[in-house]
Structure 1
Amino acid sequence: MSDEYKVNKSKLSFKGESKTKKKKRKAENPADEEDSNANANADGWVHVKALSDLGGPIFLTFSSDPPTSLSIDDKSTKVIMRPIESDSPSSSSSATSLDQAEPTVVQQVFVATMLPDSNRMTLKASNGRYLSSDKFGIVSADTEAIGMQEEWTAILKPEENGGIALQSHYGKFLSVDEVAAERPGSSLGFQIRADSEVIGFCELFQAKIQAKYRKKAKKTKEVQVATKDYEFEQSRKFQTWNHGRVVVSDQDIRELDKAKKQGRFSEALLDRREKVKSDRYCK
């Protein structure tokens, strides 16, 4: 076939058009570009560096001997400290360092959700229940709805390489306590409670999130969720019917803003849904 019958595969151009060159878009902040490149190459679990990182799967470890992680029991709603095991078959030791630690079972992973306009969050376990603490400091994961006992205030300690303390609604901190072994001849165990009044070694956890979620947080601009929109989403999530119609309380939205300052935001939302009989958890 002669050259005159060859198809021109290039973009069509017309007489009089100016040729423009595509310019590479430079990042406004060189530091953001470096962080973006680092996150793009990151994989696995990374330390939490800011409260804005909290959201999605979270892995909470503690510097015990051997290292342990916050977890729930396989057959119950009991919250335990599970020894961290290496997922590598070639490893000579079952324990691994906290810097290299990653969850090996789903019970070690919680889903963190930040409440709007605050540093409080909820932690949902793998059984679909929420981590909670009563006024006596007893920690469990057996509630399906969010109330004041399921809210935790996150306090980040930057100097502790991602160290984080969790404060309950009653002002007490989640703490790891060393207890005697349940079976004779076995090593000491660890108990989780929420009755500590100060932040010390036993109250500091190492928090890790998946690298892809930090990358997403870097690229996404921070958007403040309006209280009204948050109430709508919660009503749609917990409503008793599924006909596409969402019923929201017609009471003044300022009541929720007041409840948020008092630390009972989730409880106020539940009360408002109860009055319109739209929540399947309300009796």
Structure 2
Amino acid sequence: MSEYSFVKAGKLKFKGSTDASSSSKKKKHKKKRKHEKEVKDVREEEAEKYGGWWQTSKPEEITGTIAIEIGNNTYIYAMDNGKFTLGAPNHDPSIGPSPPEQLIAITISDTKIALKSGYGKYIAVNAENEVIGRSDAVGSREQWEPVFQDGKTALQGYNGRFISCNSQGDIVAVSTKAGPEEMLKIRSNRSLVKKQKKSEEDRGDLKECEVSYVKKFQSFEDRRLRVNQEDQSNLERAQTSGKLHEELLDRREKMKADRYCK
């Protein structure tokens, strides 16, 4: 059989032309970006309302300091005996959860996390399906799986049961199904502002920074590195004001050693 028979046929695509599939992809990307912006705006508004605490919506967001809200403005509260209950209702959401209501989340895998109380103990489920914080290390009992579906959240223990608060006020994991009583919110106080990564030439001290910048753009026709030997005080001021790259470009221009200078 000829190898050409394995080639998938299709219409010719000419440079500069567009088809329905490409236009639909662009529309999908625009919708995705719009959705991400809307989600970010909602979270920023929520963070302002809840004192910097916003609701997570996927497992990878659950890391660092968190709080678990069950009901309306009531959070899981760690007691000194290792058990957990619901804290008093927070009538002013902008205050945020109190220290005993704050936990530390640690990533175990793509789907599972470990939780540590303010007493430095890992949280597990005991034989009576009670949620307790008395473990010094993470085993199977100390692993939890956040479940997200249709904008709702539940937290499943190693026993396959979901966290809730019983009639006595204790935090337990007894239900095999996530119903209304098992719905909760996992809040994080991590900053929503992403830190910009420094480029390689911006790392190190100013001297190293300028050498890296020159190496990146200089022509090296005679294999010699040319760096401006003038005082670097202007660079220090430019770094503080956020205009370091502009100042480096001006210094390169004075050297007349780079054909890419402005």
Normalising by structure 1, report the TM-score: 0.50
Within 2, Cα distance between the matches of 1:33 and 1:167?
27
1:170 paired with 2:159, answer: yes
- Quote the residue 1:68 is aligned against: 74
1:113 paired with 2:102, answer: no
1:201-225 CA-to-partner distances (Å, cap 9, x unmatched) read: 111111211140x444x979xxxxx
How large is the Cα RMSD of the aligned pairs?
A: 3.1
5+ long unaligned stretches in structure 1 = 1-27, 86-94, 180-189, 221-283
- If asked which structure has higher relative contact order (CA below 8 Å, sep 6+), I would say 1
The alpha carbon displacement at 1:60 in A equals 0.8
1:58-95 CA-to-partner distances (Å, cap 9, x unmatched) read: 1111116xx4211101x33221111133xxxxxxxxx3
Within 2, Cα distance between the matches of 1:119 and 1:107?
26
Within 2, Cα distance between the matches of 1:37 and 1:140?
34
1:45 paired with 2:45, answer: no
Q: Secondary structure at the match of 1:199?
A: coil
**Selected match of 1:123 from 115, 129, 132:** 115
| Maintained 8 Å contact 1:119/1:154 | yes
Within 1, Cα distance between the matches of 2:190 and 2:69?
17
Identity of aligned residues (%): 20
The alpha carbon displacement at 1:135 in A equals 3.4
Amino acid paired to 1:200: G
TM-aligned CA distance change 1:143 to 1:60, over 3 Å? same
| Maintained 8 Å contact 2:57/2:151 | no
The alpha carbon displacement at 1:52 in A equals 2.2
- Quote the residue 2:132 is aligned against: 140
The alpha carbon displacement at 1:96 in A equals 4.5
Specify the structure having the higher radius of gyration (Cα): 2
TM-aligned CA distance change 1:108 to 1:58, over 3 Å? same
- Quote the residue 1:89 is aligned against: none
1:112-136 CA-to-partner distances (Å, cap 9, x unmatched) read: 11213x3110111111111110233
5+ long unaligned stretches in structure 2 = 1-29, 198-262
Within 2, Cα distance between the matches of 1:201 and 1:45?
22
Q: How many residues align?
A: 162
Q: Secondary structure at the match of 1:83?
A: coil
Instruction: Give the alignment of 1:24-43 within 5 angstroms.
Output: 31=34, 34=37, 38=41
Normalising by structure 2, report the TM-score: 0.54
Instruction: Give the alignment of 1:1-283 within 5 angstroms.
Output: 31=34, 34=37, 38=41, 44-63=52-71, 67-73=73-79, 75-85=80-90, 95-96=91-92, 102-103=96-97, 105-116=98-109, 118-160=110-152, 164-179=153-168, 190-212=169-191, 214-216=192-194
